[in-house]
Amino acid sequence: MTFQRTRVFNNGNSQAVRIPQALRLDAAEVEICRAENGDLIIRPLPVRRGDALLAVLQQFDDPEFIAELEQNPREQTPMQDRPPTLATTPVPSWSICLIPTSSSIY
């Protein structure tokens, strides 16, 4: 790990650190904490994917999109009758665990 020297300056009521271009962060926000030894740890926060999802979902409010859906509705096939599986069988609120034993153990 190589270290670079940079400067610390005041920005309003906060203290700021100039980050050299070689160490530039690809993030709009970071989290910062002080380690037990006094070092500052700065971690970039991931992009808020929920914001991007909400932006895409808001496009469904477009009247043209809704009109297109109403003109060309997809035909859905009817549900198939299938025997129940473990995933669809109700689970009791109690359970018993059976552990196989060998007579040679005792």
- Quick: pLDDT tens for 75-89: 556 677 877 776 666
- Count CA within 13 A, CB hemisphere, residue 1: 2
Q: Is residue 20 part of a domain?
A: yes
Contact 25, 17 (CB under 8 A): no
Q: Is residue 82 part of a domain?
A: no
**Domain range holding 30?**
14-69
Contact 27, 45 (CB under 8 A): yes
Tell me which residue of 2, 9, 45 sits closest to 23, measured CA to CA: 2
- Quick: pLDDT tens for 48-75: 777 777 787 787 777 777 777 677 666 5
Q: Is residue 75 part of a domain?
A: no
Q: How many domains does the chain have?
A: 1
Rg (CA), the chain: 29
State the Cα–Cα distance between residues 91 and 84, nearest whole angstrom: 13
